[in-house]
Structure 1
Amino acid sequence: MTRYMSASDSLRQKIAVDSACVIKMDEKVDKTNKDLDRPVVKLWFVDISDFGRTSQFLLLSSAIFVAYLIYGYLQELIFRLKEFRPFGWYLTLVQFLCYLIFGLLEMYVRKNFTRKIPLKTYALLAFLTVATMGLSNTSVGYLNYPTQVIFKCCKLIPVMVGSILIQGRRYNCLDVSAMLSMVIGLILFTLADSSVSPNFNTYGVILISLALCADGAIGNVQEKAMKQHEASNTEIVFYSYGIGFFYILVGLVISGNFFPAFEFCRQHPVQTYGYGLLFSISGYIGVAFVLSLVKASGALIAVTVTTCRKAVTIVLSFLFFSKPFTFQYVWSGLLVVIGIYLNVYSKNRTSMDQVMLDTFTRMQTCFRSKRTSYRNTLTEV
């Protein structure tokens, strides 16, 4: 009898141990599945995937602000050298060389040198990238910097006009309202700039407008190439800026602007090459931070953060560099911001409505609880 009881007890113990092992294995599997579902989020090379969502957002947003505020400050500072204003393309050449080296180093660190996108596609991407950044950099020499930033906020305009003319696409009232708000804001901002700024030049407006058109096209080409060939951001940066570097170099040599720019930069190495290197580093890191924020919090949050960053850039430009100011800048800038958020709302109406509803519900609940607490206090008194 004792023998049977001990056998029964040992069987129960074995079943209990097996059950515990199964539970632990299930917990490990669940944890592994959660880890697989969670996106890998990096602050440059630092993995912050284990941080909470709020911590990720605060870290990445702060990093974006720091990187791009340095980028904007240095870009305007470089063009404070009046003799450097005709050499915007040379600054772009230096920037492309830096991005090429950074991309190569990042590919080496990640041990990934495979090219997935055809060179023909990269030739087009490089041309659009050169047009976007080269024309944008050159325009700073002919425009008030806040005006250049406002123009760069309005990429939606050429995208919508191009898709209407080329694809025959139709847009809803919100999208049309967003574009009209941006157009009116741009016109008013430009008129304000032309009336008070001694540096205003119509040539600068033409340059930044062409840069805007190229910027509107480059996103579609990049997105299509990445989806078709599943290429990494590092690969696209390396080949786009590498081919673009040779485009600019050939253009500068043929036009005869390379050697005058080289000679001027040789005479002012700190203000040109020194600031240009820091300018390139901050821009390259800023792009990586924005992509990480998109992965961690979504495109809507990323657009909000980058728009706020541009607004702060404009304010700091007036604080750090003396320039004439008029309140028409404020009203026209607000029209552009309204246009941006109408566009974002049009694309994310359901999620934004839900966020606003949740916020209103929380505020209402908080107000009711405080009112109830206040009434109870009065009753006790």
Structure 2
Amino acid sequence: MPATTRRQASSLSPRVVREMTPSPRYKGVLKNSGFNFLPDGKSFHVFGMMSRELELIVCCVGVFVSFSLFAVMQEDVYEAQGENGGERFSMTFFALVFERAVNALCALLAIFVFGGSGYKLPLKEIFHSGSSQMLAMAASNEALRYVSYPTQVLGKSCKMVPVMLGGLVLGGRKFSRFQYLSVAFVTFGVFLFNYGKASSSSGKSASVTENSTYGLSLIFLSLVFDAITGGLQDKVKTSTKVLNPSHRKTAKPSAHESMLYTNLSGAIVALVFAILTGQITSGFAFCAKYPKVLKAIVCYSLASAVGQNFIYHTITSFDVLVLTTVTTTRKIFSTVYSVFRNPNQTLTNIQWTGCFIVFAFLGMETAEKVHRSRNINAARGRAKLV
């Protein structure tokens, strides 16, 4: 704290000083030891040793590699097992308990080492947000039992559909013509991709086709929970400022606090569902029978934890638009890689057309957001000059 600030604070009562200055619950091992990686007290300062350009490259590569590995391992979990491919992993809540717990433990370790924000946090609201996020992922993961990974990725690309419907029906929001056009074409592209499959007489293909409508319903349910999660996360931000009235402008959970409590709440709810559905015992039994499934769960859980760290740092240090661009590119790569990795997922020309339409409009949407953001920043710059 600067000397001038200390002199001003000294004239105030001790109670006022305590209210003005956030008191971290735990400063972290590095700060307490005097070995300070974190001169600003907010972010892991190994990145501070890099130029901004190199830092951005590291973040982008980290997100891309982590979640590409996550996608591959997740697909392996839900692959048919056994000599005749007669068994499939169906213990979705069991896998989510493991993944969320690993994420929470990594976040707890980071807080132990680097410290927290010191602000009062709305744990009840964070619990609701984390639970909703977990249910969104549960529906998305469960869909992999009925549809291919490319279908799941493209289906999740329709995220704007429930958001737009909810905004129109509940909030009276207005959307631009481009947004309506984008949603229409992305939905059309997903339709082409899913229903442009080549007909097959094999029992396996028939089973997947028969259940594809149910799989798409699960994806849509996941999108609905995504929309709910977005609203709950906004509520968390507002409640944090209310709980810290002396620091309304700066009060927010640290990246690792958000990661800890969100994943912990998701793990608790997933554990309850896993116990009620008997997936704990059946999950361990399946993994004991097919150890490579357990290996895949462990790998994608660790990849998720690493990826979340890069995501939070990218959002904090750069811009959400940067993250959107990286994740969209990663989805394209994962989809194409999945197709070439699995010979059974050969796409027809109609499906490739649907895939192209979806990612073309996602790219256009990202470009439109970048353009709009630059216009807003330019307008703010002109306003300051005036």
TM-score, normalised to structure 1, is: 0.75
Q: Does 1:189 align with 2:193?
A: yes
Question: How far 1:256 sits from its partner (Å)?
Answer: 2.9
Gapped regions of structure 1 (runs ≥ 5)? 1-37, 356-381
Deviations for 1:100-158, whole angstroms, at most 9, x for unmatched residues? 21222122112338573323212311321221111111111211111111112221121
Question: How far 1:346 sits from its partner (Å)?
Answer: 4.2
Match of 1:207 in 2: 218
Q: Does 1:220 align with 2:241?
A: no
Task: Trace 1:135-150 onto structure 2 (pairs within 5 A).
Answer: 135-150=139-154
Deviations for 1:207-255, whole angstroms, at most 9, x for unmatched residues? 1111111112212322331354111222222222222222222222222
Equivalent AA in structure 1 for residue 353 of structure 2: W
- Inter-CA distance 239–166: structure 2 relative to 1 (3 Å threshold): same
Match of 2:261 in 1: 239
- Inter-CA distance 39–296: structure 2 relative to 1 (3 Å threshold): farther
User: 2:323 and 2:126 mapped to 1: Cα distance?
Assistant: 26
Question: How far 1:282 sits from its partner (Å)?
Answer: 0.7
Equivalent AA in structure 1 for residue 312 of structure 2: L
User: 1:345 and 1:317 mapped to 2: Cα distance?
Assistant: 26
Equivalent AA in structure 2 for residue 129 of structure 1: Q
Q: Does 1:104 align with 2:108?
A: yes
Match of 1:379 in 2: none
Correspondent of 2:324 among 291, 296, 303: 303
Match of 1:66 in 2: 65
Task: Trace 1:293-332 onto structure 2 (pairs within 5 A).
Answer: 293-322=314-343, 323-332=345-354
Q: Which range moves more in the overlay, 199-208 or 170-179?
A: 199-208
Task: Trace 1:31-70 onto structure 2 (pairs within 5 A).
Answer: 45=44, 47-70=46-69
- Inter-CA distance 312–122: structure 2 relative to 1 (3 Å threshold): same
RMSD: 2.7
Question: How far 1:67 sits from its partner (Å)?
Answer: 0.8
TM-score, normalised to structure 2, is: 0.74
Match of 1:76 in 2: 75
Gapped regions of structure 2 (runs ≥ 5)? 1-38, 82-86, 241-251, 378-386
User: 1:191 and 1:164 mapped to 2: Cα distance?
Assistant: 28
Match of 1:286 in 2: 307
Higher helix share: 1
Question: How far 1:40 sits from its partner (Å)?
Answer: 9.2
Equivalent AA in structure 2 for residue 137 of structure 1: N
- Inter-CA distance 318–41: structure 2 relative to 1 (3 Å threshold): farther
User: 1:92 and 1:193 mapped to 2: Cα distance?
Assistant: 30
Match of 2:361 in 1: 339
Task: Trace 1:121-136 onto structure 2 (pairs within 5 A).
Answer: 121-136=125-140
Three-state SS of the structure 2 residue aligned to 1:341 is: helix
Match of 1:360 in 2: none
Equivalent AA in structure 2 for residue 203 of structure 1: Y
Question: How far 1:296 sits from its partner (Å)?
Answer: 4.0
What is the aligned length? 315
Question: How far 1:286 sits from its partner (Å)?
Answer: 1.2
